[in-house]
Structure 1
Amino acid sequence: MSQRPHHRPLAPGDRFFEGISSGASDPRLLAEAADRAARLLVRGAHDSGDDAVADRVLHLADTEGIETIAELWSSRPGDTIAGCLWRLYLLRSWVYADPVGVAREFEAGRARASVARVVSGVADPPGPEELKTMVDQVLRGIAGSDFADVLLRAAAFARVVATGRAELADTDAEAAARIQSVADQLDRAARLELAGRLT
């Protein structure tokens, strides 16, 4: 019996966001399958109202590996459910890989992005464990709350961190721009979801 290969965890760092705009092209059928799986995951999980389903959605990247999720969804645009899921799981993996660094950037950005800080729902003060709790709550929301709310909270969180990263002298401005781009994409997707046009 073959076992699923071990997935090496991603190391902390800026490479988490390098693949967002890679433009890798997948065959049309693979893209359709990825979109269909994402729609079933989001719409089906939301309709289930089951805590066990919410837990499985939360830990999908842990059980299947972020690489598997990347194969499915990383090439999908940010205005699709599949593209949104990739960005959400990417944010969670990044927070778990470097909670101290992300907490430092969030702390640096929260004064300049105060509205986004409130929307993101991070506890005050925002330590590493609080950030992990927040990002898990956001992903649990895929099954338990409005998907637009999930996207708005994730976008707000990314916006605060991007602002903080831009403020800190020892961080990469290009990486801050990539995180800001993720925030903008999630925010735009949330507006589409609210209008009933996110597919």
Structure 2
Amino acid sequence: MADDFHKPTLFGGREFEAFEGAAPDPAVSRRIAHDTARSLVARVRDSADPEVLDRVVGFTDEHGLDAVAELWARSSPRSLPGALWRVYLLRTMIRQDPDGVALLFQRGSEVLSTIDPVIAGAPSPAGPQEVLELSERILRGVFDGDLADALDRAAAFCRVEAAGAASVADDQDAASPERSTELTTRASRLATIADELTTCARLARDDALD
């Protein structure tokens, strides 16, 4: 039965590697990351021009993930720049392989007994177009809605996706152990991101996410 599944493109390890290591000048990098994150969020929220939000949401679509990685990827996972980096990372992951992401999201929705699929906000069943639209709504919510709610939705999405990846990994264990290991690693990383975003959402509600 596992062979019936489309094999989702695994999000390359390069994108996740930025979670580790130290910047050459941590103090300067940290200040730049926090300043740019605060300024960007403030600019979008203060602007009455809807094109500003469109440009910010679509920034990585045009310029690539590396453009924001240079600013925010090495920031603390419990900070505003760290939260922004993770949300952009998720959007890029979804845009790179909406079919595979939708498959894992649907499987996760089926195996989870939590309300995370509801919190994430995707319909059931959720196809590629639905997960693409969800990623855009989450990112827009970060800049033009309730920040804490948007981060909670992103965290819930990660938990559903992680559950789906773990479930499909179990299916693949005997037939394709290497792929099973890759999916298990992906599930673990997504679960970690979910925990970090949940913490950021809690800090945002306390007006303490900086």
Give 1:190's aligned amino acid: A
Aligned to 2:77: 78
Q: Greater shift after overlay, 43-52 or 140-149?
A: 43-52
Indicate conservation of the 8 Å contact 1:17/1:179, yes or no.
Answer: no
For the 8 Å contact 1:84–1:189, the answer to whether it is kept is yes
Alignment match, 1:55: 54
> Match for 1:93: what amino acid?
T
- Indicate whether 1:91 and 2:90 are aligned: yes
Identify the range of structure 1 (24-33 vs 71-80) with the bigger mean alpha-carbon deviation: 24-33
Is the 8 Å Cα contact of residues 113 and 160 (structure 1) preserved in structure 2?
A: no
CA distance in 2 between partners of 1:17 and 1:160 (Å): 20
Deviations 1:95-137 (A, max 9, x none): 0101111111101111315401001111221001100000011
Residues of 2 paired with 1:71 and 1:56: CA distance?
A: 18
Partner of 2:175: none
C-alpha change, 1:46 and 1:88, in structure 2 (3 Å) is: same
Q: Percent identity over the alignment? A: 35
2:127 aligned residue = 127
Structure 1, unaligned runs of 5 or more: 1-10
1:21 corresponds to: 19
Change (3 A) 1:16 1:149: farther
Whether the 8 Å CA contact 2:109–2:160 is kept in 1: the answer is yes
Report the counterpart of residue 141 of structure 2 in structure 1. Answer: 141
Structure showing greater radius of gyration is 2
For 2:3, the equivalent position in structure 1 comes to none
Runs of 4+ aligned structure 1 residues displaced above 4 Å come to none
Letter in 1 for 2:140: R
- When the two structures are aligned, how many residues end up with a matched partner? 189
Instruction: Report the Cα distance in structure 2 between the residues aligned to 1:113 and 1:19, rounded to whole angstroms.
Output: 31
Task: Compute the displacement of 1:12 (Å).
Answer: 4.7
**Which residue of structure 2 lines up, in the alignment, with residue 198 of structure 1?**
209
Q: Aligned equivalents of 2:15 and 2:191: distance in 1?
A: 10
The Cα offsets for residues 145-189 of structure 1, whole Å up to 9 and x where unpaired, read as: 011111011111111000111111234212101000001100110
Structure 1 residue 118 corresponds to structure 2 residue 118: yes
Q: Which runs of 5+ in 2 are unaligned?
A: 1-8, 173-179
| TM score, norm. by length of structure 1 | 0.88
- CA distance, structure 1, for counterparts of residue 113 and residue 76 of structure 2: 26
Q: Which deviates more from structure 2 when the two are superposed, residues 44-53 or residues 189-198?
A: 44-53
Q: Normalization by structure 2: what TM-score?
A: 0.84
In structure 1, the residue matched to 2:6 is none
How far 1:17 moved relative to its partner?
Answer: 5.2
In the aligned structure 2, how far is the partner of 1:146 from the partner of 1:26? 34
Q: In 2, distance between residues paired with 1:113 and 1:144?
A: 31
Q: CA RMSD in A?
A: 1.7
Classify the secondary structure of the residue corresponding to 2:17: coil
1:26 Cα deviation (Å)?
A: 3.9
* 2:19 counterpart letter in structure 1: S
